[in-house]
Structure 1
Amino acid sequence: MARFEHKCPESCHATTFSRRRVNSMIIPIASYVLRFFALSTFLLAASTCMASSPGNSVASPTSIRVVMDNNYPPYVFKGDQGQLKGITVDQWNLWEKRTGIHVELTGTDWSDAQRRMDAGEFDVIDTIFRNEKREKVYDFTKPYAVIPVPLFFHKDISGISGPDDARGFMVAAKAGGNVLDVLRKHGVTNIVEYPSYEKIIEAAYDGKVKVFTVDRPPALYHLNKMGIQDQFRETAPLYSGEFRRAVPKGRNDLLAMVEKGFAGITPAEYRAIDKKWMGIPISASPYVRYVGYSALVIAALVAGLLVWLRLLKRAVSRKTRELSGSEERFRSIMSLSPDIISIIGKDGAFEYNSPSAERIHGYAQDEMLGLTPLDLAHPEDRERVDRVFKELLKTPEKIANVQYRYRNKDGSYTWVEWCACNQLSNPHINGIIAISRNIEDRKRVESERLKLEQQLLHAQKLESLGVLAGGIAHDFNNILMTIMGNADLALMRITAESPAVENLRRIENAAAQAADLAKQMLAYSGKGKFVVEHINVNSLLTEMLHMLEVSISKSAVLRLDLARDLPLVEADTTQMRQIIMNLIINASEAIGDTSGVIAVSTGCMDCDPGYLKDTWLDEDITAGPYVYLEIADTGCGMDKETLARIFDPFFTTKFTGRGLGMAAVLGILRGHKGAIKIYTEPGKGTTFKILLPADSRPAEPAGHDSGRNDWHGAGKVLIVDDDETILGIGSEMLEELGFSTTTARDGREAVAIFKETPDIAFVILDLTMPHMNGEECFRELRRIRPDVKVIISSGYNEQEVTRKFAGKGLAGFIQKPYRLSALQEALQGI
């Protein structure tokens, strides 16, 4: 960087006019005249302020030590030989002559000057501004110069009119200067401190700083000296400081001595010093005539301007009143509107928001300035908002609409409907006009309506499946009854060594699997047969552990974490096993051939309505304590589409699946007043959390298998069924148990036979038959003989049957398809 040496100020201000035209001198001459009168007024005021004030009467010292800034032209700066020069230096030299007291002047960097003064090395510090902080340690003289302190900024920068506009810029300032506190109070924090004003201007010359603050006198000196005065602009003064001299706090004697010495200097002497360093106007004697002519022209122009200004003032006042009324109406509309009215710049940032923004979202007007709608959109909605906004910018006058979630000041979100019109081409607006309406209530109603529709759709699916299940229970189970009954009788009638035994066992197993399928469909409809008892979920899992381990893939590891002292639940053991097996197998298939973990855990928790609201089957369950069974896997997880359909009947993601596994789980839980919560994410696994109402009562002891039953009966039995095969197989089973049989193919025939055969011991009655159904037939049989024992045999579940025949004297129920042992147990019970 080029170095610049200080030159005599007179050479800096001297100007040669020989090459300029006369007309170009009019304005500079007038400027010097005005400066002359202003300087005279200033010196007169300064001389008045320097009047002496009384102090403590003490003996005068023989010398005084003074420290000051060494780079503040024209008040103080170093000459070619390093000696101090300037207005302040000459004033102290004159003070020394008036008082006879020797003055030791020291010039140094300003921060160093303050430090050394505070350390007690000097008696007086000069070129200092007074502020609250310094008043605590110094006593000050009267001011002797007023110094404006503006902000300077490069001509390529626009929009800086004061310290508030300098936020975000790097601002250069002198270390230890009073202006540092002023900048920080206005929020300017990116400040680079330099030891002197000359260093700051050198940095500006080198392009290292674009914005800086330097007291105006030294700024003009250094800018002109380095030839970059045209490269920078200045703001109005941040403040105007007053040059004073200061002594340590409490040194009133020293303060009075300093002021008395300066009061002894005459105004003429002060003016002489100022003229020496600030220069005097160049003699304008050859041009006085032109100045006079110019003054007359200016006077005429001023007079005409005053008249024009008066007329203009009246017109402006009228228009102002009209504009104020219009603005007041506009302001009222804005403040009363329930919607948010916004103006958005072409950069997408808010430039204005109506008061509703604070009412709805909590943001004050200035808090939203500079933010964009995209900044405040929910992360899941940002892509949609960004796409709409980009399309809006492409076409003038285009209107766009979008609904999205808007972040409130407290971090929550509110649904808004955003309607915007591109008015960037409108010179009166030059922006985008947007109206945002709070649609939170509308969204809540839509959500509730959608939920009700989903519940209705699910209920309709459930009803349809219930009808289907009933049909299967009657027709399909009749077929299974024939298969299972014949297989059962065949096994009883052949030897264990027969090669047909294995085939019969396979027939039995296939029929049992088919029967389970029907039961799963009944379970989904919520009408499956429940044998409710108090069970311990931990015990159930422990009993099933071996079966679960052999059911999962070899790459999956099963881990149990069972809570101690787990409350009991009222549940059907068989169906709980079905739930556990379904979920474990699903978890194993989700893991596939890769290594993974299936974690099974239990526990008890209190569930409030808010927690239960996010579960499946939340419509009929109440808050309270629940036992939970959680099955988590590290498998492939599910996307939203799969999760939405996971409980649909016949929906499956497996090639060989029947699609009833999860549907049956949901049906079983519905019958148990339970619920299920699902956590899943593609690639991160799935967690199923089963919730069952906790029961504080102790579990009843489980029964024990009595082993083989050799019971046989005697008497005549009437079998009523519309299926010929059921009549045949039923008769054979009853005869195997020691009974004689007679059959009827519908209710009407059964009533006729019953009337003619008084020795019938009991009746096995189908529920669904032509001509006269089971319920009508039952009433007729009871009317004929009130003590007749009737057992209902049906594919429907026991709960449905007992509900229909409650209080009517039904002797028993046996569900199709049944085996000989089940028939034996039912007959033995009556």
Structure 2
Amino acid sequence: MITTLQGQHSDQSVTRQRLWLAGLVLALAASVAVLWFASESALLTAVFFGGILVLAAAVFAFRNFGTEAQVDELAPPDWSVTVAAIEQPGIGIAITDRANRLTCANGTFTDWFGTGTAPPNLSLDRPSLEALTRSAREAWRDGASATGELKTPQGEAKWACAAQRAGRGDDYLIWRFTALDSADAQGMIAGAITGHFGTLLSEAGVETAIVGDDGIIRAVSQGFAYRSVGDASATLAGQEFVSLLRSDDQERIYFAREGRKGPAQLLTQVPLEQRNSGRGDAPSASLMMLIESGLAIGGAEEAVGSAATPQLEALLGALPLGLAMTDRDGRFLFGNQAFLRAVDREEEALPQYPSDLVVREDKGALADAVRRFGKGPANNGDMAIRLRSQPEDPVSLGLAGVRGLGEAAVLLSLTDSTEETRLKRQVAQATKMQAVGQLAGGVAHDFNNVLTAIIGYCDLMLLRHTPGDSDYDDIQQIRANSNRAASLTRQLLAFSRQQTLRPEVLQLPDVVSEVSQLLKRLLGEKIEFRVHHDRDLGPVRADPQQLEQVIVNLAVNARDAMQMRGDGRGKLTMATRRVSAADIRKMGSDFIPVADYTVLIVQDTGGGIPGELLGKIFEPFFTTKEQGKGTGLGLSTVYGIVKQSGGFIFADNVSATDRQPAGARFTVYLPVHRGELPQPKAAEEERAASDWSTGGKVLLVEDEDMVRAVAERALSRAGFTVTAASDGEEGLAAIANAGPFDLVLSDVVMPGMDGPTMVKALRKQQPDMPIVFMSGYAEEQLRKEIDIDNMHFIPKPFSVQQISDKVGSVLAVARSAEKDVKS
């Protein structure tokens, strides 16, 4: 954006000249007329007229000269040159006039804030706008000012800002915005050295510049620019760094513009960003520090025999990169706070040698590298090491040999990767849990096929035996154990979030009341059970049976924890709370979206969960109970049900008080349901199934022989005519040869052509054909993946009665719809 007033100024100058000339002509004519009438002398009048013309010509020439000089003096600058000069990486620069109008801005500023607004009226939150307004007043009054952290209304981007008064008449403000991104060390340091911090370093004799690995300057301090080209406002971006320096035959470094008249400089390189950690690549950018050799922190001609001076320590301590220094023998001299955080030594001092920070296998290599860089020529490199505090995660350590800094011989740089390591572990844990969930879902699906056959054959055998027969009890025992195994598969599916839910709109206290009597029997006489409910709780949308399982699992887990504490006595408290969106916003959680929630709190007095186990309790098959007393699926099932219901669950410990001992607390957040939900159709399906008695032709497609045999016998016994097929191709062939059919009952996943593909081909010929899919996966998941109308679902494992009722209810609904269409 470039604003100029040059054209307007020129037009106004021409207008003023014309008015002045017209006034002069009128005045001359009037004077000549008055003199003629007064003297009636032609000679006197002619002499007067000539003198006036000469005087007017002189005045006109003098005024034109002054106007041109004034125009030249007041001509506005070429803003395109200014725009090119203020382009700096990672720094947004804008220039405003006294009316707070945007006069000029670089590309970084326009990318961040656009050109529609100008400082201090930017799209920021209220505290940031107040800080910018205050900074503008201070800059106009004092010449310069700076702000703290600035945020957008959403709190996403963050900047720091500095304002400086400039111009011939101090009519402009120069705004510099720097992104506060801890991962962008180059951008942060560029903003620092080009601002007030760089000025302080220059006053101390330290000139700084950021130089890329190609030797091209990216940003410099004002002192560096002045000593290099004589202009403190020059950015020097794009110029070669070495072209601004020179060295003599003793390899002493000077600014090229100063030559030997200026002091010799000590050059120190600090890598800012490392690429391809551990491969030896050069840094993508470096901070170059030129320090006058006459300062107390060292000299090129004579080394000062002191350790790192306070000035150098203060300089390195102000940088966000982890930096440390060693002497020629490899002993630590200094380490800034960022370095201490990176090596997990904030609470204690650094060891004597850097090799004491790494694992045993890396000690020798690091010690050799430090000695090599300390006693060899001044160069730099990096190496991969494993810290003792993080032995599983290699990090990149930068090494640079420095000279002329007294005892300091090696500069070590290490990025604080604590947050990065934590995120890596979370991603690895999430990946592992996802893999285990997929494995659990696949195992449960295959196991459901086996259980379907076992339960189905038990049902068929029970039809031929009556209570009192010798085999009746054995068959019932087999069926009971099969149902128990089916419950285990449901737990696996709940963990992997692949179970079929039947959500309803319900009140959480009603569910707690339904299971209260069961909980009292489960807890026993020694455990006190209390329930508290808030008023005006919002309804939630969840499967009531699955929600009951969540409550029972949490209660049983608390009971076992309390029974392990000696006498087995304790207290279990369940409470429901109303949590508003404002409360969630105050919590500042990164996990829970801002909304209204109904919360279930389950708290016990079992002593709590050890801190090292809090992050593992929801993992499948993880248990602290004795072998044979727990499957490790209880809390993982709870977690899966809550997450599949759209909720959140957290576990923490409650400290002991005077009234009760310490214990664990589980908090379940379920979002408040807004809107209506259709009532469950289970009762309608049972009524429709009982009304259906006319039979029908059913195509059964199932690749598992046991499941296909059970389903065929069950449907045949119920009066249906069944044609069986083992995959999708046989199903289509059966439709062509033995069709038409009243209904298709098909598995979803089959070798060759799967169920959905077969149904889509069938629908081209019979678009109204009812379809019933049977699968061990969740109905919600299948409906998202299969886009087919008039599709029904029955989960595996199912009994003989359930499959017969499902087919009968679907046919009854389809026949009723046909009658309505005909009528």
TM-score of the pair, normalised by structure 2: 0.47
**Which has the bigger relative contact order, CA under 8 A and spacing at least 6?**
1
TM-score of the pair, normalised by structure 1: 0.47
Structure ID, larger Rg: 1
